[in-house]
Amino acid sequence: MPHPLLDPRRLAVLHALGLDTAWVPREALDPAELAALLPAAPGVPARRGGGPGPGARGGVEARGTELPPDQAPAASAAAVPAASPAASPAASPAAPPVPSPPRADAARPVAQGTPAPMSEQRLQQVRALDWEPLRALTHECRACKLGSMRHRAVFGVGHPQARVMVVGEAPGAEEDRLGEPFVGAAGKLLDNMLRACGLSRAGEDPARTVYIANVIKCRPPGNRNPEPDEIAQCLPILQRQIELVRPRLLLALGRFAAQALTGSAEPIGRLRQRAWDWHGTPLVVSYHPAYLLRTPQDKAKAWADLCLAQDLLEGRGH
C-alpha cells in the first residue's frame, strides 16, 4: 500500500496547482535512493527548519523540481509546529496537523467580530424560498447599491445537492458579464484543483459535482472590496443556498468568504488549516485562486488545504 503522501489524488492536486514536486516521506524512500537524492538537491536541508529526522512525523524530502526554501515548508509538515498539541494522530501525514476544531465559537454563519452582521430582515425574507424563487429574487435584487451597478447578478452554478460547496467572494468583470462565478484564469485554476480532487462544476453526480456561489452576488465596481452593508444584505442569500444544498463540506476561498463563514476577522493565514464547523457542516478555508495566480508561492499551502478538505470529506481524523 503506497504511503499516503504518494496517494495519486494528492499528487494530482499538486500537479493541478502547478507544483510538480512530489513530497515523499523519508521512510518511503529506499536508502540508496535517498542517498542519491540528497546530493542532487544542494541547498535543500535534509531536516527542514530543524524539524524531526527520518521516521518522525513531518520528516519529508522533496523529490523532483525543488521549490525555493521559503515556499517549500508549506507543503511539508515541518511548516507546522511539530509540537502542535492538537495534531490529530489519525490525520494523514499528507495533511499538516491542524488545531482543534473551534466548534464552540465558530459554528455560526454570522461572524463574531465581523464588520457586517447578516441582515435578519433579509434572512427572514429569503429563508422560506426554494431554488427558483431564490434565484429570481437575486436577479431582481436591489437591496444594496451594487444592484444598480451590475450587468448580471451571479447566483451560482453546480449541482443543487452537491457534496462539496465552494464559496467565493464576489464577481469580477468577466463573471459580471457572463453571470457565472469563477471564470477566466482563476476559474481555470479552480477547475484544475477540483478535477484533481475528482470534482467538477458540471455534472449529474452530486458526489462529483460541486456547487459554487459567492458571498456577494453583484460585482463591486472596479473590483473593490465588498463593503459591510453589501455583505450584510447579500449573505442571507448565500446562507439559504447552503441550506438548500446541504453539502457535506464547505470550502471558503478568499478572505471575505472565509471571514463571512467562520465569523472571524482574523487574516486568512490564521483561518486556514483548521476544521471549522458551520452549523454542523465541516468548513475549510483556503486562498482564492486569483490570489494564487498572483502569489504562486502560496499554492503549496492551498494544496495542504485541499488535502485537509479531502480528509474531512472522507472522514479521516481531525
Q: Which residues bind ligand SF4 (CB under 6 A)?
A: 138, 141-144, 146-147, 153, 216-218, 230, 233-234
- Choose between 217 and 299: whose C-beta lies nearer to ligand SF4: 217
Nearest to 306 by CA among 280, 259, 279, 273: 273
- Choose between 21 and 233: whose C-beta lies nearer to ligand SF4: 233
Please, what is the minimum distance in Å from the beta carbon of residue 146 to ligand SF4?
A: 4
Q: Dihedral (C-alpha) 194, 195, 197, 201: value to the nearest 10 degrees?
A: 50
Q: Are strands 164-168 and 276-278 parallel, antiparallel or unpaired?
A: unpaired
- Choose between 33 and 120: whose C-beta lies nearer to ligand SF4: 120
Residue nearest to ligand SF4 (CB): 147
Q: Are 251 and 162 in contact (CB under 8 A)?
A: no
Please, what is the minimum distance in Å from the beta carbon of residue 187 to ligand SF4?
A: 20
Please, what is the minimum distance in Å from the beta carbon of residue 172 to ligand SF4?
A: 14
Please, what is the minimum distance in Å from the beta carbon of residue 236 to ligand SF4?
A: 8
- Choose between 219 and 272: whose C-beta lies nearer to ligand SF4: 219
- Exposure on the CB side of residue 233, measured as CA atoms within 13 A: 16
Q: Give me the residues paired with residue 158 across strands.
A: 211
Q: Are strands 211-214 and 157-158 parallel, antiparallel or unpaired?
A: antiparallel
- Choose between 14 and 157: whose C-beta lies nearer to ligand SF4: 157
C-alpha cell at 10: 494528492
Radius of gyration of the chain (CA): 20
Please, what is the minimum distance in Å from the beta carbon of residue 215 to ligand SF4?
A: 9
